[in-house]
């Protein structure tokens, strides 16, 4: 039976022991600081006591008791009482005995340990302080390092950015040998099209791409690098696309601590644009220096900073002398005033100024120039400096004044020409209006000047005009104008005139001055002039009208005779209108078939028979009737239509002669007058030959009449034409011989057949002994030259007899027949009418 009370105390005791045992076990395991000595004995004692108690408990539950299983409870009791508990208590005692002193020692040790611990704590505290301080320092250092790291990062980023963005390619290379690149920045590709590795992998890559012409120089510079420590050169480098870039290469030798060369660091910059600019500048500079213009620039203060070679030459200075001079020394005072007041302000305002000024040579000579001034501004718009280009226009100026002279003055006489005359006349009119006085215009024309010119040659004519100009100037005041309009026409403008009478007085003075003989080119002769006068404001209120009025008055004066003076009147205008009408109808006369020919017989004074007829031109004007040639031929010459009219005359006359021949009438020579304009035609002989051919008239049946003055115009070509006619067998006569100035020396060279004595001599020889002498002299001269003489304008028997007696071969005149129309002439030919010579002769003997 189970004694639950005992069991409970047993379990409690056992539990208590077990707890102590467990505690000891736990302490033994965890509190290693407790003294170990005796501990195991103590533990073993408690273990045995626990075991013994457990046995007591199991007594109640036999099944659980190992000894009970064995079945021997006595052994169990024995064991409990003799072995287990005593041993347990013994071990407990022994354990306590051994452990307690250890615990005591331990407590001392603990104490000392505590001291040590305190010391340690103090040390730890100190160390902790130190550590904290160290930590702080470390933290600071870390912060600094972080900052440094960040800075490095930023710097690296910046460098990377710079390397990429920079136009400069950075590179490093080993020293010596082939200078192999160890680094080339990425932007090299953007510059030359190649990658960095191209340079790094191929040691010759760089030098192989340097322009062949630069390689030697570059290699030499690179060699010198090791001595100098740095180098800088420029060369052309071939881009991947084949083009060449100009590279500026600057490199530095990096040395180690011992001063031994380590590597080369350098950079390239593309300077192609700069080189282009440099080349352009170089070229520009060459051009500037080669320029013949003054080119220079000055600072804002007006001090010369540059003057090109031409500028120095124009200024008479060296470049060194010119630079630094105030710009005012290069120009004369008057030009400086223009530049300061006009040029520079305009250049500042609008950027440029152009004007005509002058440069001043050091020796004081002025050179007219066309000057351009440019103002150059800074980017802020401030004028920084001025430049100037000045072109020497001396020649241009001289030419201009020459042109001005030519435009205003007559080159032969040096007198004002029509242009300047008009200008002067306008001024004179304006002046006259102000001072309420008159102006007179004197229009003067030399009489028979054309004849002088034609017969004595142009040289004499020119000399005469000059001499006339001189005399005219001598007749008027300095303020009056004497001008030449051309030919033999002069116009004088007389200013501040009191009354129209004064103009007549001066005109008379002029005529008197001109009447004095001229001795020119070895010849002495007299001339006369006609003058037309107009007055302001009576005859015109403007220059043109005054000139026109004076011209009209001159025409009247000339019409009146030689050496006349006429003042303008309003009636004179009617005459001018008439002349204009005449001109117009004359131009149309040929196509309107208003021209006709009349024929006058030329008689042989020996046989009395008709040997030739002269064709004479008539104009049958619808209103005016028959107009004689003297009235319209000079006008036709003036209008330039005479060659056409003359050709018509020649053709009509030849045709008529041919018709008469064809009609079986006696073979006569047809004599035709040639006009001056016709005679000077280059192809005259061809034209005549063509007409002869066209009409079928044999050349020997044609005679050509020309005047002395026509021949004398150009003697040599006249001789050539006359010889050509002679060869064609055409007869040649000189008309109106004695009225011109033909030289006897020339006369004998002309291949002539006849000399015709003008009707004026024939008319007068019976009255004036001089004319008789002339007629006799002409006959004798003609005979001595082997020529026949034809007397024109024979009207009386007396004239006829005189001519017949003096050996004149032929005659023409009213005595026998007036000029007749073709039909009447034909009747005369048919009748074969003869000259009544015998009766004439007999009546005088």
> Interface with ligand C2E by CB under 6 A: which residues?
600, 615-617, 628-630, 633, 646, 649, 673-675, 705, 735-736, 759, 792-795, 812-814, 819
Residue with Cβ nearer ligand C2E (470 or 797): 797
Alpha-carbon separation of residue 740 from 372, 450, 678 (angstroms): 63, 11, 19
Strand pairing report for 702-707 and 669-673: parallel
Q: What is the CA radius of gyration of the chain?
A: 72
Residue with Cβ nearer ligand C2E (308 or 675): 675
Least distance CB 663 / ligand C2E (angstroms)? 23
DSSP code, position 63: G
Least distance CB 713 / ligand C2E (angstroms)? 15
Least distance CB 649 / ligand C2E (angstroms)? 4
Residue with Cβ nearer ligand C2E (179 or 765): 765
Full DSSP string of 225-288: HHHHSEEEEEEEEE-TTS-EEEEEEEEEEEE-TTS-EEEEEEEEEE-HHHHHHHHHHHHHHHHH
Strand pairing report for 518-520 and 481-486: unpaired
Residue with Cβ nearer ligand C2E (266 or 813): 813
Least distance CB 616 / ligand C2E (angstroms)? 4
Question: Cα(440)–Cα(481) distance, rounded to whole angstroms?
Answer: 11
- Residue pair 443/547 in contact (Cβ under 8 Å)? The answer is yes
* Residue 15 burial by Cβ neighbours in a 10 Å radius (0-12, 13-18, 19+): middle
Least distance CB 571 / ligand C2E (angstroms)? 29
Least distance CB 584 / ligand C2E (angstroms)? 21
Residue with Cβ nearer ligand C2E (472 or 650): 650
Residue with Cβ nearer ligand C2E (555 or 763): 763
Nearest to 472 by CA among 489, 492, 488: 492
Full DSSP string of 434-474: HHT-EEEEEEEEEETHHHHHHHH-HHHHHHHHHHHHHHHHH
Alpha helices (H) in 757-796, listed in sequence order: 759-764, 769-784
Residue with Cβ nearer ligand C2E (628 or 769): 628
Q: How many residues does the chain have?
A: 845
Q: The tokens of 668 are what? A: 């006569």
Least distance CB 674 / ligand C2E (angstroms)? 6
CA 451 to chain centre: 52
Residue with Cβ nearer ligand C2E (738 or 819): 819
Residue with Cβ nearer ligand C2E (311 or 646): 646
Residue with Cβ nearer ligand C2E (251 or 650): 650
Is the preceding omega at residue 837 within 30 degrees of 0, hence cis?
Answer: no
Of the CA atoms within 13 Å of residue 141, those in its CB half-sphere come to 6
Least distance CB 777 / ligand C2E (angstroms)? 19
Question: Cα(229)–Cα(244) distance, rounded to whole angstroms?
Answer: 28
Question: 201-213 burial, b for 16+ CB within 10 Å, e for fewer?
Answer: eebebbeebbbee
Beta strands in 570-701 (DSSP E): 595-604, 610-621, 625-627, 669-673
Least distance CB 651 / ligand C2E (angstroms)? 12
Least distance CB 705 / ligand C2E (angstroms)? 6
């Amino acid at each position: 039976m189970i004694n639950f009370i005992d069991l409970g105390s047993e379990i409690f005791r056992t539990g208590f022991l077990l707890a102590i045992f467990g505690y000891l076990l736990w302490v033994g395991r965890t509190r290693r600081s407790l003294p170990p000595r005796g501990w195991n004995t103590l533990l073993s004692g408690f273990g045995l006591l626990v075991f013994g108690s457990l046995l007591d408990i199991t007594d109640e539950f036999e099944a659980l008791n190992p000894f009970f299983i064995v079945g021997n409870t006595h052994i169990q009791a024995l064991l409990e009482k003799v072995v287990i508990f005593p041993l347990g208590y013994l071990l407990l005692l022994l354990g306590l005995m051994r452990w307690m002193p250890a615990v005591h020692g331990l407590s001392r040790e603990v104490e000392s340990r505590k001291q040590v611990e305190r010391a340690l704590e103090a040390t730890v505290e100190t160390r902790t302080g130190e550590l904290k301080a160290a930590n702080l320092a470390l933290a600071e250092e870390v912060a600094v390092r972080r900052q440094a790291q960040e800075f490095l990062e930023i710097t690296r980023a910046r460098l990377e950015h710079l390397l990429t963005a920079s136009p400069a390619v950075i590179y490093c290379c080993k020293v010596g040998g082939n200078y192999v690149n160890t680094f080339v920045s990425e932007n090299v590709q953007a510059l030359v099209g190649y990658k960095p590795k191209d340079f790094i992998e191929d040691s010759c890559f760089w030098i192989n791409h340097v322009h062949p012409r630069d390689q030697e120089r570059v290699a030499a510079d690179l060699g010198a690098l090791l001595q100098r420590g740095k180098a800088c050169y420029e060369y052309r480098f071939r881009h991947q696309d084949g083009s060449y870039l100009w590279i500026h290469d600057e490199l530095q030798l990096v040395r180690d601590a011992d001063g031994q060369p380590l590597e080369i660091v350098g950079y390239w910059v593309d300077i192609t644009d700069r080189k282009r600019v440099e080349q352009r500048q170089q070229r520009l500079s060459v051009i500037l220096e080669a320029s013949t213009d003054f080119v220079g620039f000055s600072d804002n203060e007006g001090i010369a900073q540059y003057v090109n070679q031409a500028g120095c030459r124009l200024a008479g200075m060296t470049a060194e002398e010119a630079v630094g001079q105030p710009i005012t020394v290069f120009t004369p005072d008057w030009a400086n005033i223009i530049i300061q007041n006009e040029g520079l302000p305009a250049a500042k305002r609008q950027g440029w100024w152009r004007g005509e000024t002058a440069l001043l040579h050091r020796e004081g000579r002025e050179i007219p120039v066309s000057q351009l001034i440019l103002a150059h501004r800074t980017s802020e718009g401030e004028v920084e400096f001025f430049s100037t280009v000045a072109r020497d226009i001396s020649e241009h100026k001289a030419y201009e004044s020459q042109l001005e002279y030519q435009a205003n003055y007559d080159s032969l006489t040096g007198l004002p020409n029509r242009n300047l005359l008009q200008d002067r006349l306008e001024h004179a009119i304006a002046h006259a209006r102000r001072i309420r006085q008159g102006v007179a215009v004197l229009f003067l024309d030399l009489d028979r000047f054309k004849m002088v010119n034609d017969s004595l040659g142009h040289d004499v004519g020119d000399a005469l005009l000059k001499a006339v100009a001189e005399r005219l100037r001598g007749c008027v005041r300095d303020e009056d104008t004497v001008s030449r309009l051309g030919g033999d026409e002069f116009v004088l403008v007389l200013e501040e005139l009191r009354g129209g009478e004064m103009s007549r007085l001066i005109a008379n003075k002029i005529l008197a001055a001109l009447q004095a003989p001229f001795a020119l080119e070895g010849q002495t002769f007299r001339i006369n002039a006609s003058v037309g006068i107009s007055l302001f404001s009576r005859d015109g209120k403007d220059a043109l009208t005054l000139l026109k009025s004076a011209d009209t008055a001159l025409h009247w004066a000339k019409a009146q005779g030689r050496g006349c003076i006429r003042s303008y009147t309003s009636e004179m205008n009617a005459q001018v209108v008439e002349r204009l009408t005449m001109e117009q109808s004359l131009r149309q006369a040929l196509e309107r078939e208003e021209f006709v020919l009349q024929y006058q017989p030329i008689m042989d004074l020996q046989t009395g028979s008709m040997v030739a007829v002269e064709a004479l031109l008539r104009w049958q004007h619808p209103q005016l009737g028959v107009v004689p040639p003297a009235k319209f031929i000079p006008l036709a010459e003036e209008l330039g239509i005479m060659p056409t009219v003359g050709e018509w005359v020649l053709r009509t006359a030849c045709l008529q002669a041919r018709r008469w021949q064809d009609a079986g009438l006696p073979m006569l020579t047809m004599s035709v007058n040639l006009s001056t304009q016709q005679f000077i035609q280059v192809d005259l002989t061809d034209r005549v030959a063509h007409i002869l051919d066209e009409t079928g008239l044999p050349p020997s049946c044609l005679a050509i009449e020309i005047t002395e003055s026509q021949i004398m115009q150009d003697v040599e070509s006249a001789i050539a034409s006359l010889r050509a006619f002679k060869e064609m067998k055409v007869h040649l006569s000189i008309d109106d011989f004695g009225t011109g100035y033909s030289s006897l020396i020339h006369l004998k060279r002309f291949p002539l057949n006849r000399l015709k004595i003008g009707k004026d001599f024939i008319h007068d020889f019976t009255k004036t002994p001089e004319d008789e002498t002339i007629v006799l002299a002409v006959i004798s001269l003609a005979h001595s030259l082997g020529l026949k003489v034809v007397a024109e304008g024979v009207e009386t028997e007396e004239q006829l007899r005189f001519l017949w007696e003096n050996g004149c071969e032929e005659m023409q005149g009213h005595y026998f027949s007036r000029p007749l129309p073709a039909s009447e002439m034909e009747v005369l030919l048919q009748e074969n009418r003869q000259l009544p010579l015998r009766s004439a002769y007999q009546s005088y003997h």
